[in-house]
Amino acid sequence: MINEAEYWKKIEQFFVDNFETEASPPIETILFLIGLQELGSGQQKYSKDDKLNILHIAVCRLLEPFGYYKFTHYEDGWPQFEKLEDLPELRTNEQTLLMKKAIIQYFQDEELL
């Protein structure tokens, strides 16, 4: 079984290979792409508010398996989540580690690698 660091490297390589970039995108870009995937609306122009909502979708979806959010329904084509538990106060590096762990879980759950 591979450890989280090795799995993260595979995720970074996934983005390099599939988006023809020379380096893995920042975590915010990965979150945005996961949000787009969950929204399922494809490529189009998004307003600044839409972009923030797409990031919110990603965070909710990623933290759902950890018990922080629960998907409830779709409203006007947008997934809606209920907050089940407040996130603990985390320093920036702890937030990044939690998001990386959640992204790894997402890739495993969705069988993307």
Structural domain boundaries in the chain: 4-15+26-109
**Calpha distance 44→27 (Å, rounded):** 21
Helical segments of the chain, H only: 4-18, 27-39, 48-63, 92-109
pLDDT in tens, the chain (113 residues): 678 889 999 999 998 888 888 888 899 999 999 999 999 877 789 999 999 999 999 999 999 999 999 999 999 989 999 999 999 999 999 999 999 999 999 999 999 88
Model pLDDT, residue 1: 66
User: 63, 69 in Cβ contact below 8 A?
Assistant: yes
Global pTM?
0.89
Model pLDDT, residue 89: 94
Model pLDDT, residue 63: 97
Q: What is the β-pairing status of strands 78-83 and 69-75?
A: antiparallel
